[in-house]
Each structure stands twice: as structure tokens, then as C-alpha cells.
Structure 1
Amino acid sequence: MTPARPGPPHAVTVVGIGADGWAGLTPTSRAALCDAQVLIGASRQLDLLPPECTGARITWPSPLRPAVAGLLDTHAGRRIAVLASGDPMFYGIGRALTETVGAVRVLPHPSSVSYACARLGWPLEDVEVVPLVGRPAARLAAALREGRRLLVLSADATTPGEVAALLRDRGFGPSRMRVLEQLGGPQERTTGETTAEEWTDAPGDPLNIVAVECRRAPEALRLGAVPGLPDEAFEHDGQLTKRHVRAATLSALAPAPGELLWDIGGGSGSIAIEWMRTHPSCRAVTVEQDPVRAERIVHNAERLGVPGLLVVTGAAPAALAELPQPEAVFIGGGLTVPGLLDDCWAALPAGGRLVVNTVTLESEALLADAYRRFGGELVRLAVSHAVPVGGFTGWRQAMPVTQWAVDKTLNPLSGADR
């Protein structure tokens, strides 16, 4: 068969390739690789190419991402083909290349996730994909839900064992696991097929995906998908925004994908952690001056599946000076520190949100003044719990929380601007 001619010329062509190697490529992909003067990829991918691909073969250095721009500049003016696993635009090198080069020509191959769903009989739209390549395994914890189907993109042969250990540790030991290796290739196989608590398999092929059918142990704490996790989900010393107030606070902060939160006076980190759990792309920085509490926040974040939470040990507002601009700010402590409220407000862009909670009269007076000057919404949150009263049951009210929430779009920086 005569190979198809390459499409329109591009500085870089990205070709997806699977475990089936050259045999699984389309004529268009083969033509692009044969036409390239420079071939860049992982060594295992380059080894799949036949001799008729005569371009200079270059293995990606490690770490890969920082090397992309320099490597492409070195070969500027030459026809470059980059090899990628499966679909380059699905957790692949395609993103780094488009962000570096701009327009690139992409020739995708079926992704390992598509192969896995085909083998398992799982509808792709019902599956959550959790990438652990270059990411901590603790990220998996945020995806654990009763009955959920997960496909974990493994970093190497040790990932299945790490997944099994995490499932056991987070109360999902009864979850069923399977490991799918070398998908689409001649050495494809499925191993495991047991529960996480019974997992004893030795590391197998490094090119694998872990399929998980989540089952929660009866005694494990149930963690919902919306803000307002049980207080027991967090280790704390009493400095914790309690469940019902926390849910109201996250509602006022209104997290959206990709946004960054400043959590001032982190305590146990509950606000920042639940912010990040709303979407995998949500980011947060929590500022806590007590080093013991700061370390506890790190532990809580890892346990609850958001190990990317940045914890700054220091006092605000000084600790805020070098932080990236946030879309939202929550002040849960330190409101009476001179300049803190003004500095947080000034850091917000147009459309940013500021939410402040307080329980003291001194801080409440500051919020009343801010509400008078800038508007927004000022509310009092009061929660009561049923408790035994002798042989009967009565209400015990928790300390009420005053909350001020304001949108910078609707409320300029100063009273004069209003």
C-alpha cells in the first residue's frame, strides 16, 4: 500500500502510537514519521519505528516539560515529529507542545483509556480518569465514591500496589481492581482481578492502567461530593470551620474550575481542601502561622486527595506578598491585624470574591464597617445541635458566626469609587 502524503506543513507533527507500534499506525501517521528529519520520543517509542524512518532519533530528557522549548529551538527549521502514547491531547505531550509552539499537527491513536473501556465493557462517559504519571498517588483519594468506576493512569509497574495500599488506607479495601497491561499490543494481558484488601500481586509491566470499581467498607467515613464534609474527616485542635458553616462558606466563595483561593488563617485547612475537591483544576494557598497546624493541614490535604495544596507557614499580611493573584480570598482568622482586609481586597481582580467569617465582637465591628462602605452580603449563621438533657432532648447552640461576602465587580475598592 502506498503511504498517504503528509498533510499541510507544520513545524511540529505529533504522532500518537500504541503498544502495537508501527503496525497500528494509519498511512498518514506513517508518512509523517518517514518524512520527518527529527524524531523525538521516549526510547521505547523510538524503538518501535522501522529503518525507513530515517530522521535523527532523540530521546526526551528528564524532566521533560522544562526541556520542550530548548529542544525544539535546537532543531528549528527542520521537520520534527514527536511520538506520543495514544492520544497526544489526552494527558499527553500534546498540551506541552501546543502551549510552547502554538499550532501543531496532531495525528492521534486510540488512547489507552479507550482500549481499557473496550476491554472492560465500561461506557467511557461513565468512567473517571485519574492520572498518576508525575503526580502523587494521594490524588486518587479525591475520586473515591461508592460505586464509581475509575481508570488510573499508572506511572510505572509499582503504581497498582500503591493504588491498592491507598484504597485500603482510605476505607475502600473492598474495591475490585484489575490491571490492564500493554493495551492494544501483542503482549496485552489483564492481571489482578481481586479486591484491594486481598492484593498481593508483584509489579508487572510498567505500561499499565489500573481499573477500580469503588466499594466503601461499612465502617469507613462517608465523604460526599459537595462541600460540607463531616468534621471527623479532618484532624484538628479545635481550629476548624464546622461542617454547616463550612458548606455555607464554600457556597459564598463559589469555586469554579481553574480558580485560585487564598485561605488566610488555615487552622485545619478545611476551607482550602474542600475548595480544591470541587474540581481537579481548582488551586489553593493556605496561610497558617502555627507550624504545628501547618503540618496538620499538609496531612489533611493528602488524606483527602488534594496533595497539591500549597501551605505557607507565616503571618498575614506579610506572608501574602509573593503569592500569585487569587480569584477568591477567605479570611478565617487574623481579621484584626492592621492592613489584612485592605491587602486581601487589593489583591483581588475585578470579579474576585472575598468572604470573611468571625465570632468576636471586635472583628464583627470591622465587618459591619466594611459592609457599610462596600456593600455585599452580611449574614449571621447560627447552628444548634440536639443533645441529651436529663432523660429528654434539647438544643445546644454553637457560637454564631458572622459572615461577610462581597464581589469586587459590584463593589469598587474604596467608598470614593462607589
Structure 2
Amino acid sequence: MPQAGNDESPARDGQPWLTLVGLGEDGPAGLTPAARAAVEQAETVFGGDRHLGLVPEVPGQERIAWPSPLTDALPWIEARRGRPVCVLASGDPFWHGIGATLARRLPPEEMVAHPAPSAFSLAAARLGWPLQETRCLSLHGRALERVHPWLHDGARLLLLSWDGSTPAALARRLVERGFGASTLTVLERMGGPEERRREARAADWGEATVADLNTIALACRADPEARPVARAPGRPEEAFTHDGQITKREVRAVTLAHLAPGAGELLWDIGAGSGAIAIEWMLADPANRAVAVEPRPERAANIAANAGELGVPDLQTVEGKAPEALEGLPAPDAVFIGGGLTTPGLVERCRQALRPGGRLVANSVTVEGDAVLAAARERLGGQLTRLAVDRAEPLGGFSGWSPLRPVTVWSLVVR
């Protein structure tokens, strides 16, 4: 492991010692004088091999390429605390870059950033797309399914590619989901002498590969058979793979309203069945997280398949029975109990896991479950709601009302 230098003249605590410098494909030519000086005067420079190759070497300067995984380098950087260190990044270090990772470990007053235009900004400028009206996503090291929720007719997406094969993989996915008429514009090595632009419909892209450093601009056009992911909760049951153990869409919409997903919050979905509640929770905000707890392996497999299909592949599935399966999980912001409600101690365990402001929601379709919810309301407070839904179904040559099983919903906001 690279070692720290000597400590003859460490900077004062709280003073900037770490500089983040965003580089474009034009290298040092695109840097401001302050950013260039930060690179030249640093005792240690961290960066990828490509970034290090863009800046001239300085005699006596320590230069360290990122290890794999990159997070292994964080202790090396911290070991040099108080000495001038420079970290090289692509474009804006705080937009899908190393900046956010470092900011979680170091106070902002110890860092200075000199961002360059991000790939998103450059791509929007090339295409004349208003950036505030464009969805920006990273596929670098992330599952391709992340684009699914954003595929809607007329939508514009800017996507950071993982490598040169990403555009072809995305094109195939678009055709599969009924968006073959969408236009892919691939911008390679933007800002440098080897910049190149390629454009084709997804259906016509084929297997062509491009430079590993590329950004995809996607103008979505839906075919008649397209399968967009709805933006509101209460998506149809047919959108999920399930064995009948699924919260019906009308009840699901009400349940999500009681769970009240915010931004960047974590849900425990207990007795998850198809995972529909957890998936719709995550679809409410791109930063939301969820843990689906399900004892039956075949249902756990359905949860994983549904999460990928609906564009939230990061949904965590825990195969086991609550409350034992809850041990070691991160503290939730909300809990939904959809199965196992009559398990002794489960409601209390979930209530104890929640901080003030947390939400606990449980649904019941049985007399025994209703008794548990009535007792929980008596002990803990909260609100009981009874839902009765009828759906029109064929009745001879006409239509008649067919009732769904009534559902009791108990909801509690922790004070």
C-alpha cells in the first residue's frame, strides 16, 4: 500500500489540503490557472491511468493510479491529510464522480474543487437539449435496467456508458421493450481531438461498438407495443410476476400513500410476496432503497425478476422469516407488513426499529390479522382504514360487479 509522506509541515486542521480537479479530453489546456497550479504543486496526485496520462509529470511528485476497487484508495488519501494532495476526475467530480465519495469522509472545508464541464453539459450543448428538461443517468458500473422507468414516448435521456459495448446493449434493450424507433446519438471522447458522433435508430444500431469513453443521448419514441413503467403507484398486477400473493393495485396505491415515501428513504417490506410495494416505493424516488423480506424462495426469485423488469435492480431481497430475518438490517424510515402479521412480536419489533417520523403500515385480509391490527391500534395508536373494492367483470352478455377481498389497513406515524 502506498505510504504517507513525512509530516514536517502539515496544514492546519480544517484548512484545505485536498484539491479535486476535473479534466476534459483536452487535458491541461482546459484547466484554469488555479486548477493547473493545484496539479503541479501537489505532493501526491491520484487518478485513473487515463487522467494521469493527460497531465505532465512533475519531478519528485508521487502519482498513484486508482486501485480496484477504487474505495481501497480512500485510506491512502486520508493518510496524507494535511499535505497537498490532488485528485483527478472526469469533468465535474460531484456529478457521478469521486467528489461525492470523498465528501462522505472528509469535511468540505478541507477540500477545494475545480470542476470541468460534465459529460452531461457537453452532450446537451452538442445537441441543443435543455439540461433541466433532460434525465441524466449513469450506467457506469450500474445495471442497464436502471433506464426502464425513464423510457416514455418523447423523453430525452443522457446516459454515461460503462464501455464501448453499452450503446449496442441499450439498443437491444430498447427494441425488447418496444422503443426500437428511439434515436441513439453516441458522443465519443467529447472535448478532445478524437471527438466523434454516431447516430441511428435503436432498431438499426446492430452490434457496432464505439470508444469506451462515450455518452449516449437517447430520444425516446414508443412503438404501439411499448411497455413504459407508469409514473404513479398502483401499477397493474400484470406488470409483476406473481403467484397470486400480490397487493392489488387499488390497495397498493392507498398503502403507498400511507407509507409516504420521501427522497432517499429506506423501506422494509415484510412478507413481500411479489415485491410490488418495495418496487413502487423505490420508483417514487431514484434515491430510495428497500429491503424485501420473503421466506419462500420461489417468491424471492419473483421479487428479483420484478425489480429488474421495472427498473429497480438494486432492491435488496432477504430470504427468511421476520422478525429473525430483520436482524442486522439498516434502520428503516418506513415499514410495511404484508405477510406474517400474526407472528408474535413482529409489530413491536417493527415499531421499535423506527425513529420519530417513521411510518408503519400493515394490511390484513383475515379475521385473525384484523384482531392483531385492532390490538396494535389500542396499544400504539394510529389509524384503521377498511377498503372494499369492486371490479366490473363479464356476467353473461353484460358486466357485473365482483368484489375483491376487503382489506384492513393500519397506519402509524411514530412520534
Task: Name the TM tier (shorter chain).
Answer: over 0.9
Which region of structure 1 is more displaced relative to structure 2, 123-132 or 366-375? 366-375
The TM-score normalised by the length of structure 1 is 0.93
One of 143, 153, 164 as aligned partner of 1:146: 153
Structure 2 matches for 1:61-140, cutoff 5 A?
A: 61-68=67-74, 70-103=75-108, 104-140=111-147
AA aligned to 2:411 is A
Question: Is 1:186 matched with 2:197?
Answer: no
Question: Is 1:204 matched with 2:204?
Answer: no
Q: Provide the rounded CA distance (Å) in 2 between the counterparts of 1:175 and 1:342.
A: 50
Aligned to 1:4: none
**C-alpha distance 186-233 of structure 1, shift in aligned 2 (>3 A):** same
Question: Is 1:39 matched with 2:32?
Answer: no
% identical equivalent positions:
51
Question: Is 1:156 matched with 2:135?
Answer: no
Question: Is 1:250 matched with 2:267?
Answer: no
One of 282, 295, 311 as aligned partner of 1:276: 282
Q: Shift in Å at residue 72 of structure 1?
A: 1.1
Aligned to 1:29: 35
Aligned to 2:3: none
Question: Is 1:343 matched with 2:349?
Answer: yes
SS in 1 for 2:325: helix
Q: Provide the rounded CA distance (Å) in 1 between the counterparts of 2:410 and 2:386.
A: 9
Q: Provide the rounded CA distance (Å) in 2 between the counterparts of 1:211 and 1:156.
A: 15
AA aligned to 2:185 is R
Question: Deviations for 1:89-112, whole angstroms, at most 9, x for unmatched residues?
Answer: 111111112222222100111111
SS in 1 for 2:231: coil
CA contact (8 A) 1:141 1:166 kept: no
**C-alpha distance 402-9 of structure 1, shift in aligned 2 (>3 A):** closer
Q: Structure 2 regions of 5+ residues with no counterpart? A: 1-13
Q: Provide the rounded CA distance (Å) in 1 between the counterparts of 2:223 and 2:317.
A: 31
Q: How many residues align?
A: 400
AA aligned to 1:352 is G
CA contact (8 A) 1:223 1:230 kept: no
SS in 1 for 2:104: helix
Aligned to 2:234: 228
CA RMSD, 1 decimal: 1.5
SS in 2 for 1:47: helix
Q: Provide the rounded CA distance (Å) in 1 between the counterparts of 2:60 and 2:90.
A: 21
SS in 2 for 1:100: coil
Aligned to 1:19: 25
Q: Provide the rounded CA distance (Å) in 1 between the counterparts of 2:86 and 2:77.
A: 11
SS in 1 for 2:369: helix
**C-alpha distance 232-98 of structure 1, shift in aligned 2 (>3 A):** same
Q: Shift in Å at residue 262 of structure 1?
A: 0.4
SS in 2 for 1:329: strand
Aligned to 1:414: none
**C-alpha distance 360-9 of structure 1, shift in aligned 2 (>3 A):** closer
Q: Provide the rounded CA distance (Å) in 2 between the counterparts of 1:234 and 1:204.
A: 35
AA aligned to 2:290 is A
AA aligned to 2:146 is R
